[in-house]
Structures are given as C-alpha cells and as structure tokens.
Structure 1
C-alpha cells in the first residue's frame, strides 16, 4: 500500500491499524500456504506483527508481500539444476552458456550450485515470465560487470537455501556498451526482485551498488552482509523488507534507498521487521517518497556519527530520510548521524517504539508536522532536538538534549537556513525584540512526558504554544540570549505539569492560562541541584524540583497549585518519589525559607523575595517576559 505525500498540518496516528490492513490477510494466507507445501527447501517467512497506538497487536504490514514472494519451496522434479564451473557450465533446456556467462532464458525454477571466478549468471526471459532461483551455496565473481544480471522478466524470486552461504562480487570497473551506465550493481535486476529463504548472501559491490532493482525490491528473509561503494540496497519503485538480518556498509552512498521520483506513489521504503546494522557513507535509509518502519531493530551510523568533523556539507548524512512522510510504529532504532537523525520534507509521526539518537544537527526535523503520540524518544545529542512548523506531543516518553533549542516550532527546510553544521532554524533559536510572530507555527502538548536539556531556548515557537496535559520539564540555558520558554504570539496553558528553569534575562511565563502558573525570578544565580520547593499554609509540600543546571528563573504550573500564599524554600531534601528531578510526593526538610509568595492570579510573576517581578530583557514577539 502506498501512502501519498502529505503537506500542512497532518497526523497519521491510525495508519498501522487502518491504512495497512490491506496486506494483512495476504501475508497470513501466504504463510500458511508456504509452510505446508512439500519441498526440499527452507521454511517460509513469518508474517509481521505491529503494536498500534492503543497497544493492541495487529498483523498488518506496510509493504505488500504476495504469496509467491514468501514461497521458498519448490518441486525438485520440475526444477533445473545449474552447476556453475570455470571448466564449463553445461547448457540445458532454458539455460544457455556463452563462455563464462550463463543465461536463464525460460520461466521456471532453477537450482544454482558451484562457482565462477570471472563470470555472470544472467536472467533474460519474456516480459511476463517469472523465474524462481535457488542459490545453493554459490560463489560468483565478475571482474568487469554484475555477478547476477537480470535483464528482462516480470519477477525473479531468489531463495537463499537453508544452511548455505552465497557470495557475489564485482570488480571496480565495468565493461559497458557505449553510452550505457547500467548495470551498476553486483546483484542487478530490471525486473521485480524478491529475495527470501534463511541462507546467507554476501555481496561486495566494488563498482557501485550492492543490490539494485529497477522495479520493486522485496526482501522477505535471510542473512545479508553487503559492502558497497555506493548504495547497499537500492530499489527504484518500492523497497519492502519483511524480515531478515542485514549488515550494510557503504563508503559513498546510502545504506537503503528507493529513488523513483517520477511517480508520486512510488519511491517508498517499507520496513516491517528485521535486524539492521548500517554504516553509511551518506544517508542510512532514504526514501524519495515515504519511509515507514515497524518491528525492526536498527542501528544506523552515518559518516563518523554525531561527532563527525570531515564531512561535505553539500552532501547528506541523515539517519532516516524521506522527501515525503516518515512513520515509526514500533521496534528499536539507534542512530548516530553526522546530519539530522530523522528528517522528512513533509511529516514525521512516531506512534511507538524506541528511538535513541545522537545527531550532528537536528534530532528530528520535519518541514510541516512532527507528531509523537507514543513510544520512547531519546535525543542524546543534537543542535536542535525536535524541529518543525508544527510540533504535536500527545504521548510517549521524550528526552531531548540540544546545544541550541530543545523544541523549535519554526519550520522551514534545512537548505533555507544559515546556522548549524547542515542548517537549522533561520532565527538562531530566538524571536528577538523585533521579529514578527507567525501564528502558523505551533507547539502543542497534550500528553506524554517531555524532558528537555537545552543551551538555546527550551520550548520555542515562532507562533503559538498550547499545553493541555502531560509533564514538561525544561532545564534551560545557563547563558543569556535564550529562555527556557520562548514564543512569538501566545502560550495558552490549561493543564498538565510544567517546570522550566533557566536564566532570567529572556524569561517568559505563559500568556494565558486556566491553570495557575507562577514565574519566580531570583536575584542571584542558584547552583545546580538546589531544590526549589513551594509549601502551602498547612505545611504541605505542593511542589519540589531539583534543576540539573544553574538557574535564576523558574516557571511552575501544576494542578495542585492554586491562588493563595506559599512559602518558597531553597535547598534541603525531599523524602518523596523523584523522577528527572521532579518529586510527585513527599515533604521538604532542611531548606532555607526565602519568602512568602502570594499567588493572586492564574498567571503570577514574582521575585524570590515575594515582590511583583518587573520586565527585563528583550520582549519576544508579544509574550510577557520576566
């Protein structure tokens, strides 16, 4: 199933349980058929399962896998056996031999054995013919061309026979016809190509690509060890991966790629499972249209990772990259990238799974909309953590470490900007006094847990911030010119728990609120780890937090906070339950009582001595700063 490119404010929270059901029954039926077929070959692949946004397990897939794609069995009586040999491969019905080139010319099933030290296995059948190849411990090297070259056919299904290792190698230069640039891969196909089975395929792509299909490429199962100069695994139309184990290393290209930019519904990468270790000279996984991931275990490194120093800024070194949309439903994804860890020119939607990312630029960047509704997201290193025109946080456990803004609802393409290694928001992380607000930019928080450690702005929107629920903790900048909260138009706060610490010179509170929010400005910088507590008139500790950095301003908003008098306590200890420095219960003891704070409205700004705060610093776009 193809997901068309989308623009504007778009969420995709139900794709796993809704849009993808079309392939579900097909995979399950194929599994049953393949596993009961009589055969001398290996077991069929297992249908994938996914966890949807509600936590229920489904058996839907992003890619489409036909029954024949999962079939690894064959009828020995009808199969043709080809024994490759440098001493001369024998021709037979459907097989021609021209020197060291062995060509399959008819539809059917072929079992391939043996080796060629400098030759080629070619498939050239009718445009509507299908071929099933079983690689049964094959070694093919071609010094000046593709090891396997599929020149014509409707579909070629390649099965990696159980217990075998198959090796394909090419040379560093090809002998091609005049004005021709292809084939350009060790395993090359102009037809739809499917690879299944539980054997192993080793590919050395010394010329350009490892595996390439000019149509659809479907990888059902098997073990793959691919080294390539350019792209490791490349499809033109769609790349669909159901399962398997993949080790892919490239020096100048992407790990996985689909690149059809001529048709809107093609150029997609669908990953429904599998284990991936990708070390890419450029992007880890790139889709010219959409990139969808579930059930996969992925470890991706681009260039020398987030700390790369020798990269070409005209090139791309992103972990997951899509010109259209990216959706992540489940699985574990670890990314160490020189450029953005996850980047989409349209939307990013995280429904579940675990994402651990270290980036030399943005943790996640979407041009139009970035939404997180579930899962665990840990941005361990970034220039900006999460960036998009519209950011929606509805659920999940999110941790962001950023050298500039933690979350930036500023939007725009990286190519349009001037700061950061590969580009970041054009405002340098702040609105500034004269910058005009843009209410099309939104940061909306309606659930989840969000922990931000930033040296620029913590939560930054060039337009609007809204918060209705969830837990947000910001350990903001320790230097001037930024604030833990920064918005250009308004911050409407109506629920959840908000704690934001940082410097006071660019500090902002909410602009409108139906839940009490207090901003406290200290006359001296407080040391990191110094407990901030509010105690009510009855002696109950209603708030207690230990910032991880020095601070001179705190914004506090919880459902437990109301208008009235509170004692501000600095230091001491809390005997309650703590997570990320925030205490959800317990009592404070041993601290210093600084002042009585009289909270008189839903938005109150006071000094640490209990006086009404006066505005300082630059006004940011219309929101009050204190």
Structure 2
C-alpha cells in the first residue's frame, strides 16, 4: 500500500498520463510460458480527459531494490535472477539500488504503471527497463526524487562512439570518392560492420544486439513517461528511451546520455512539457513517424558538436562557385551548356580529372584566360581549345538585360564582373546524409510530420539541428541553434508561423523544398546559403508573408531554385562579397521569378550574380549597383529628391549592390544612393528600377540541398544595419536609427 504522502504526489500527475496510456495499442503477443496467475487490482479509475483522475489507494506492489535481494511487497511481480518481472497489470512502485538487474514487463494485454520513487538500476549488458508485453506502459517519476537508469558501461560508451566516428569517417571518404550518397542508417558498438542492424528488429532474441539492448528504457508497446521528478538515463550501449509505438513524455526532468539516439519513437512522439538535457552520439530526439512538441526546455548536443565538423567554407570560400566542394563536372557542364557551348561536358570532366577546379577564378572575365593557361601548361589537352573559343564567343556576344523582369533562363546583367554560378544542379540530391553506413547525428528528427508549438531550445549538432523527412511546422518557440549542417531542414515543406529562430552558425540556415514564413523572427548565419529552397518533388519556392527575416550568408542569401515571393514582413540580407553568389538567387532556368508585393526588403551583396525583382511585382523596388566595391563599415544612404533620408545601411562586409523595396518608395521619384565618395541618382520609372547595364552573371540554382560547413558570425543589438551579423534586438531590419516598435519606419529614421 502507498502511504498518503505518496498518493497525493502521484494522483494529479498520473491522472492525465494514465488516460493517454489506456487508449493506445498494446505490445507483441506472448507465447504462454511467461503467463502467470492474474492478480486482481482496483488501483486505478481513469477518465480520458484533461481533468482525469486516478485512485491510488491500492497499489499492486511496492518493490525495494537491493543487490542483496530485492523485496516485493504485493502481487503481480517477482524476483527472477536479479530481475524484477511484472506479469500482471497494475501499478508498481520502485525504490532502492539494483546492480546487474532490470525491470522486465510480461503482462500481455494489460496496462502497467512503473513508479520510480528513488530508484537506481544499472545493467552493464542490457536495458534497465524492458517492457516486452503489455497493452500500454507508463513510467512515472515521483516528484522530489532522483532516479538513475544505466545500460552498459563507460567502456561500451566509448567503444560505441569510436565505432560511430569510424563509420562516419568511412562514409565521408566514400562520398568524396563518389561511391555512395544514400539515406543514413544507424550503428552501434555491437556490430559496426552491419550498422543497419541497429534499426528495429522486433522479433530478435532478447540477447546480443537485440530489443533489450536497443535502449536503457525499451518498450515494445506505447509508452508514457511522466512525473516531475528527476530521471537520469545513461544509454551507454545504444539508445536512451525508446518505444516501438507511441511515446509520450510530459513534466519529467530528464538528463540523458546515449551512444546512439537519445529519445526514439516508432510511430509517434509527443512531448508536452519537461526539462531535457540530452547528449547523444546519434540523433537526440527522433521519431520514425510524427513528432509533436508542445512545450519544454531543451538543451541538445549531438556527437562532438558543430565545432567538430570540418568547415567546408575553409576549403571552398563562399560555399559555391567553381572551386567549391559542392561542384562537380556535371555542374560545370550544365552551366557551360546554358551558354550554348558544345563540348561542355567533356571540358568539365577534363577540368575535374585534372584537379583544376580549385584554381578556377571567381569572376567570369578571367575564365577564358584561365582555360587558355591550362592548355598552355598542359593541364588539359589542346583538343579543348575549340570549346574554350566557343566560351569566349558566348561571353562577348552576350547582351545584358533585366534577368528577373524578362525571365531569361541563363544570364543577367550586372554592373560588375560575373562569375560561374554557385551550384547549378537542376536535380541536386539531398546530401544531408552522406552515406548508407553513416550515423545520423541530428538534434530533432522525424520521418513524419513535425509540429513544434512552443518550447525553449538550445541545440548544438554535428548534423541538422531540426530535420524533417516530411513537413515541418513551427508555430512558436525560442531556438538558439549552432549546426554543422542545416539549422532547420525539411525534405518537403517548412512553415514558420511564429517563434524566434536564431541560427548562430550553420552550413545552410533554412532548407526545404518549399519555405513559407508567415510570422515570427528568423535570423540566420551560414557559410553557404541562408535560405535554400531545392527539391525535385515539387517546384522549389520561398514565400515570406510576414515576420522579421535576417540573413548573413557567405553563399546565396535567399536562394530558391524556382520562385521567391515577398508579400510582407521585414527582410534584410547581408549577402556574399564574392561574385560567385548573390544576396538573392532564383531558379531562372526553371522559369522562376523574384516578386516583391509588400514589406520592407533590403539585400546587399556582390553584383556578379545579381537578381532584380520581376516586373510583375506590385511594390516599388530599386536595385542599385555601385561603380566600385564598397568596404566593410561603409554606410549606404538612400535619399529622395528633396534630400530627405529614406533609409541607411551599414555594411558588415564588402558589397557592390543593393536591392531596396519599401512602401515608402514612390514611383517616378528620383533617389540618390550615396556610399562614401560614391553617389548616383536613379529614377523609379519602373516597378523594378535598376541602374545595372553591363557585365554578366550566371544565375540559376544556388545549389541543391547540400552538405555541412561552418562560418563564424555574430548576431547586432540595435536598429542599425548589423555590424556583426546580428538581427536587431527590436526585431526591425536595420534602417538608420533604431525604430521603437516592430513597424517598418516610415522614413527610415
């Protein structure tokens, strides 16, 4: 029997979780040899509602754990070879310490509640809690108690991590050699050579690398973990907490270390509240089905953290262009073919085979000289001279025009040198998982739809911080992310309806097939693209309807492989300094367009890959190209014909072009753009006015969904244009003096 104090602490919390537990499906079928006499119990009366209640006046058994012999007071459980085996439905309270033992549930078709009331269980070879047969199971962590569950040892933990490191290193080598690029699986120290065996195998025997070793807490049925007590889970063998079916977690204060995945669900994962400190060497939170997070505090760390990832930006500055790691002979061939050059594929293959791509110039005007030099020094055969001459002819015959307005598929005008496009692959594969033998080390990951309604998240990951194979919807929450790959990623649709998302460091900040920002604040620092919409499943698209978006990108700032539409909100892009990328990049080769219908939009960066808004836009936009590149710290000022300042911006890195759109711009008005000793006038005589009249750029794809990399960047604290890559603290894009609210300033002051 539970005492009155214990009853009062358990009653409220168990009410809701038991209501959920009794409604879900059960575990596998037992064969009979594990059956025991049913113990009658009236320990719980449940109403399935938010006001559900439970009567705990009768508890099935109280178990005192001990290495000298655990004691069971009550019915439905027994001690078998140091394991506590539960064979009947009911509620079981555990306290004490048990070494080399575990709790095992064999209660087919019945509902079992395990109460951790100051329990420490260690098992060096298997799980600490194994729920093999039950209709549903609940683990309740008593308020005011500390509980520790450990499977494996620190030695097995280090072995598991070493195996993962070896598998991932091998996978990276294979990818570099072009041998593999398929979906990531999982691995374990139990059998590195057969990494895929660590995925679920429900019929495996309860020995070796099997169900019992998959997690410290392993349930073959739906599982609820609740209660406001403290629970430490050391998953030194493989996963931390796992259910083969629905996993629901609420209230618990969880500290978890795992050799592979931290929290893992089979069909559905629901987290309603709690505090989570997760250090996993695989994925931290993972569902093979849907994933829903309502609230909670999350501190997530995977692998050795984002800082351990080799920064691709160091090997290939700018993350794109001909010398970048993401380029290949196919990519270069596509670009040359768009210029109408015969023999493009053969030339591109020869350049790659000769290892010449790393020395490629970063502006188009130098390309012909570079190629001729490669012929002269014997790097490539003189047989390619005809193709090189065709490239020179294509460049000299190019007539500039407004790419965005006229929807030209291959080229656009700039006021500066053009450059080889940053990753023009129409059908680029998602390379976020590098090899079939690599181990996923993502923060929050789901195969089904992921919905986040709230919570506070600090995430530092080797791989994507948030990753969905299906749709990802963020309705609220505060996110501080550092990632070795993507900050937030969806293979399909990513929708942000609210919250504050700060990607402090990433390879690509926000990546999905279709990206929609309806509200909230999104700030991204990336070594490659800030936003990247790339997919072969549907038309890539970025749509910003509201909110505040800030991007500091070394690659493309906002990159859609088809359309980019801004209908509202405040958007500020600190784009790349090099001519291989652009602040705005769209998929013109896919007939994509860049449209501005509302909001306040500022995009600064290089002019080599410049995009202008399409003539179908409904809000006035001006794209201005300066005659000379502007240095970091330069202030760009926009003034009207009366000398009134409309807006001003301070560069955090060198740039040569700016695109500005605001409801304050007036068609027919003449504006002066001033930067240092450079100044020029431009009249808004069209909806997408630009002074760009010369040069050449190669637009198109800014790259498919890419791999990982890093850059350092700081997030500004005032309304000035960011001086360190920050989103202003008031949520307003920089435009002169700090605005006092979240509305776009009427005059830029």
| TM-score using structure 2 length | 0.60
Go from structure 1 to structure 2 and tell me whether the alpha carbon gap of 1:602 and 1:340 turns closer, same or farther (over 3 Å shift): same
RMSD: 3.5
Query: Contact 2:128–2:217 at 8 Å: present in 1 too?
Result: no
- Report the Cα distance in structure 2 between the residues aligned to 1:304 and 1:143, rounded to whole angstroms: 24
2:511 aligned partner: 387
- Alignment match of 1:616 (pick from 695, 702, 714): 695
Change (3 A) 1:542 1:245: same
Q: 1:506 aligns with which of 577, 597, 609?
A: 609
Cα distance in 1 for partners of 2:476, 2:536 equals 26
CA shift in 2, pair 1:211/1:185, >3 Å: farther
Partner of 2:82: 100
Cα gap change, 1:240/1:598 in structure 2, threshold over 3 Å: closer, same or farther? same
CA distance in 2 between partners of 1:563 and 1:355 (Å): 40
Report deviation, 1:98.
4.3
Match of 1:548 in 2: 652
| Shift in CA distance, 451/63, structure 1 to aligned 2, threshold 3 Å | farther
Does the Cα contact within 8 Å between 2:276 and 2:299 map onto a contact in 1?
Answer: yes
CA distance in 2, matches of 1:453, 1:316: 27
Q: Is 1:181 aligned to 2:205, yes or no? A: yes
Higher share of residues assigned helix = 2
Question: Helix, strand or coil for the counterpart of 2:559?
Answer: strand
1:328 and 2:435 are equivalent in the alignment: no
Corresponding residue of 2:574: 475
Q: What's 2:111 paired with?
A: 130
Q: Is the 8 A contact 1:517 1:556 kept in 2?
A: yes
Displaced runs of 4 or more, over 6 A = 61-66, 68-72, 183-188
Return 5+ residue gaps in structure 1 as ranges. Answer: 1-35, 49-60, 189-206, 260-266, 414-438, 572-590, 607-612
Which of residues 353, 360, 377 in structure 1 aligns to 2:484?
Answer: 360
| 1:456 and 2:555 are equivalent in the alignment | yes
1:345 aligns with 2:469: yes
Is structure 2 residue 316 aligned with structure 1 residue 237?
Answer: no
SS at 1:457's partner residue? coil
Rounded Cα–Cα distance in structure 2 between residues aligned with 1:268 and 1:112: 28
TM-aligned CA deviation for residue 543 of structure 1: 2.1
The equivalences for 1:4-15 within 5 A come to none
Q: Residues 152-551 of structure 1 correspond to what in structure 2 (within 5 A)?
A: 152-170=133-151, 180-182=204-206, 208-221=214-227, 222-229=229-236, 230-251=238-259, 253-259=260-266, 267-309=267-309, 314-411=438-535, 440-487=539-586, 488=588, 489-512=592-615, 513-551=617-655
User: Counterpart of 2:689?
Assistant: 604
CA contact (8 A) 2:100 2:123 kept: yes
How far 1:302 moved relative to its partner? 1.0
Could you tell me how far 1:471 is from its partner in structure 2?
Answer: 1.1
Structure 1 CA distance for aligned equivalents of residues 210 and 118 of structure 2? 17
**Deviation digits for residues 18-43 of structure 1 (CA, Å, limit 9, x no counterpart):** xxxxxxxxxxxxxxxxxx99936535
Contact 2:602–2:661 (CA<8 Å) still a contact in 1? yes
Deviations 1:341-398 (A, max 9, x none): 1111121111111111111111122111111121111111111111122111111111
Question: Which piece of structure 1 moves more, 379-388 or 530-539?
Answer: 530-539
Query: In 1, distance between residues paired with 2:119 and 2:66?
Result: 10
**Secondary structure of residue in 2 paired with 1:44:** helix
Residue in 2 that maps onto 1:420: none
Cα separation, 2, equivalents of 1:352 and 1:46: 27
CA distance in 1, matches of 2:152, 2:464: 33
Q: Would you say the 8 A contact 2:231–2:254 is kept in 1?
A: yes
Secondary structure at the counterpart of residue 616 of structure 1:
strand
DSSP 3-state at the match of 2:570: strand
Q: In 2, are the aligned partners of 1:186 and 1:210 still within 8 Å (CA)?
A: no
| Structure 1 CA distance for aligned equivalents of residues 57 and 15 of structure 2 | 23
Alpha-carbon separation, structure 1, partners of 2:637 and 2:289: 50
Instruction: Kindly indicate whether structure 1 or structure 2 has the higher relative contact order, using CA contacts under 8 Å at least 6 residues apart.
Output: 2
The structure-2 alpha-carbon separation of the partners of 1:107 and 1:327, relative to structure 1 and needing over 3 Å to count, comes to closer
What is the rounded CA distance, in whole Å, between the counterparts of 2:535 and 2:255 in structure 1? 34
For residues 64-94 of structure 1, give each alpha carbon's deviation from its aligned partner in whole angstroms, at most 9, with x where no partner exists.
8975898676215x64444445555567654
Deviations 1:232-289 (A, max 9, x none): 11111111112211111112x1111113xxxxxxx12111111111111011111112
Alignment partner, residue 174 of structure 2: none
Question: How far does residue 165 in structure 1 lie from its aligned partner after superposition?
Answer: 3.4
| 1:595 matched residue in structure 2 | 680
Could you tell me how far 1:159 is from its partner in structure 2?
3.6
Distance 1:138 1:597, change over 3 A: closer
CA contact (8 A) 2:137 2:224 kept: no
Distance 1:509 1:72, change over 3 A: same
Match of 2:674 among 567, 570, 576: 570
Partner of 1:4: none
Distance verdict in 2 for CA 1:570–1:239, change over 3 Å: same
Aligned to 1:20: none
Helix, strand or coil at the partner of 1:346? coil
Change (3 A) 1:67 1:412: farther
Deviation at 1:498, TM superposition (A): 1.2
1:118 to partner: Cα distance: 4.1
Matched, 1:39 2:7: yes
How many angstroms does 1:592 deviate by?
5.3
**How far did 1:136 drift?**
3.7
- Alpha-carbon spacing, 1:397–1:83, altered in 2? closer, same or farther (3 Å): closer
Deviation at 1:145, TM superposition (A): 4.4
SS of the aligned residue for 2:697 comes to coil
Change (3 A) 1:500 1:275: same
User: What TM-score do the two structures reach when normalised by structure 1?
Assistant: 0.71
Query: What count of residue pairs does the alignment treat as equivalent?
Result: 494
CA 71–250 in structure 1, closer or farther in 2 if over 3 Å, else same: farther
